[in-house]
A and B are shown apart, each in its own frame.
Chain A
Amino acid sequence: MHLMLEFGGGLELLCESVKVHNVNVDMPKGADKLTMKDLLAWVRTNLIKERPEMFMKGESVRPGVLVLVNDCDWELSGQLDTTLEDKDVVVFISTLHGG
């Protein structure tokens, strides 16, 4: 599945300062859909090069990190249970910095 991932609010520093990543993510074995939960695990393994605790806490994103799927707050689509489709755009924005 092809996805476009964007990291903002300072999170790009964890991915070698690259803000936009065009990625190809495989479905988890035996599953017929890809959820945000799967994607997060994939991102942590494949894109986060340092300080993973700044991005994730447990299975979800660190509190203070906002997630948008196709420009919609993931709280509207079930957070970790949100299912993803080909060509979806996922944006991660950290709010944890000075104002």
Chain B
Amino acid sequence: MKLGGRLCCVCNQRRAALKRPKTLEQICRECFYAVFEEEIHQVILENKLFKPGERIAIGASGGKDSTVLAYVLSELNRRHNYGLDLFLLSVDEGITGYRDDSLETVKRNELQYGLPLKIVSYKDLYGWTMDEIVKMIGLKNNCTFCGVFRRQALDRGAALLKVDKVATGHNADDIAETVLLNILRGDIARLSRCTSIITGEDGPIPRCKPFKYTYEKEIVMYAYFKKLDYFSTECIYSPNAYRGFAREFIKDLERIRPRAILDIIKSGEDFRIATSTKMPEQGTCERCGYISSQKWCKACVLLEGLNRGLPKLGIGRNQGLNSDAKKDIKKDDRTKSIESKQCGSLEF
């Protein structure tokens, strides 16, 4: 085996193990761990993401970002005395062969990191699994359903845990992709919000993204070197998602100029919307009270469509809810407390 030849540019003692895309520095493992963890600590401090005594739910899918987030937050909480109560919160969308496997990983994380785990499922919350939804609507637009439902599912799980905030593992690559996606779609409202490191402060549970400036490559290298346990398969429905195009482009860009990812985020942060542009107003859903810029929130609209069946399919379907076309989101006899609550009417 040949010797590395290059020394770490930080300590000048150990062999360099990777080239950081963020800075192009050649760095050894130990210095990499230190700088990776310290940078995240600085992001947390500078953006005042947490306050001592807060209960924080980490959105955990068993994937690389959320596993590393759980590991690093636990570690920093201990090392710097953030004084936080950390939890793992998982959403079971009901995707066979994907989610069931990744949930096994989160259950292992619960033991490995000593963080209590809560799982909420689409089946319990909405009466539909993603598999059932895809059977109904086909392979187009499923990510729209899933994304909308997951966002609310996280909020409801967070309310059950009585946490103050939710932390998600969205990384720099994700956010750069989202900026591009919103430009490609002309979604000005989302464009103005998507680079915020804290969102939803005016809603029930604020969310934050401690990995906003962290490169995906570094998250994977950190997990690899530290031998962290994570699940890594693409969702079986994702190849049809529009986001795939933005992702491909960002990855090609990164190869040529790695700094582009952070620069796109900076551009996104500095966008100013022309004062003459009409922006949607944020109000609440008439049916369930959740935050919405339309009369009904997206989840209610989607659910109604599902429960009535698409016009082109012709007939509504029984799916564990009353098939009565006049029904609301109220469930029948299975009165689990979460089900009889309409999304948005969360008491805490």
Given that A70-B1, A76-B18 are contacting pairs, would A99 and B64 also be in contact in the complex, using a CB cutoff of 8 Å? yes
A85 touches B18 (CB 8 A): no
B16 touches A8 (CB 8 A): no
Give the distance in Å from the alpha carbon of A96 to the alpha carbon of B250 in the complex: 12
Query: Interface residue count for A (Cβ, 8 Å)?
Result: 27
Give the distance in Å from the alpha carbon of A95 to the alpha carbon of B26 in the complex: 20
A63 touches B248 (CB 8 A): yes
Q: Which of B123-131, B215-223, B304-312 contacts A (4 or more CB under 8 A)?
A: B215-223
Report the minimal beta-carbon distance from B117 to chain A, rounded to whole angstroms.
17
Interface residues of B in 1-25 (CB under 8 A from A): 1-2, 4-6, 15-19
Give the distance in Å from the alpha carbon of A98 to the alpha carbon of B212 in the complex: 16
On chain B, the residues within 8 Å of A88 by CB distance are 1
CB-defined interface of A23-65 with B at 8 Å, one 1/0 digit per residue? 0000000000000000000000000000000000000001110
Interface size of B as a range: 35 or more
Given that A63-B255, A85-B2, A88-B1 are contacting pairs, would A97 and B17 also be in contact in the complex, using a CB cutoff of 8 Å? no
On chain A, the residues within 8 Å of B224 by CB distance are 8, 68, 91, 93
B234 touches A97 (CB 8 A): yes
Given that A9-B220, A98-B234, A99-B174 are contacting pairs, would A72 and B15 also be in contact in the complex, using a CB cutoff of 8 Å? yes
B63 touches A64 (CB 8 A): no
- Chain A residues with CB under 8 Å of chain B are 8-10, 13, 62-64, 66, 68, 70-73, 75-77, 85, 87-88, 91, 93-99
5 contacts between A and B (CB under 8 A): A64-B247, A66-B221, A75-B18, A76-B26, A99-B65
Q: A72-B4, A95-B64 are in contact. List 16 more A-B contacts (CB 8 A).
A: A8-B232, A64-B251, A66-B220, A68-B224, A71-B17, A71-B225, A73-B18, A73-B221, A76-B16, A76-B19, A91-B224, A97-B63, A98-B234, A98-B235, A99-B170, A99-B174
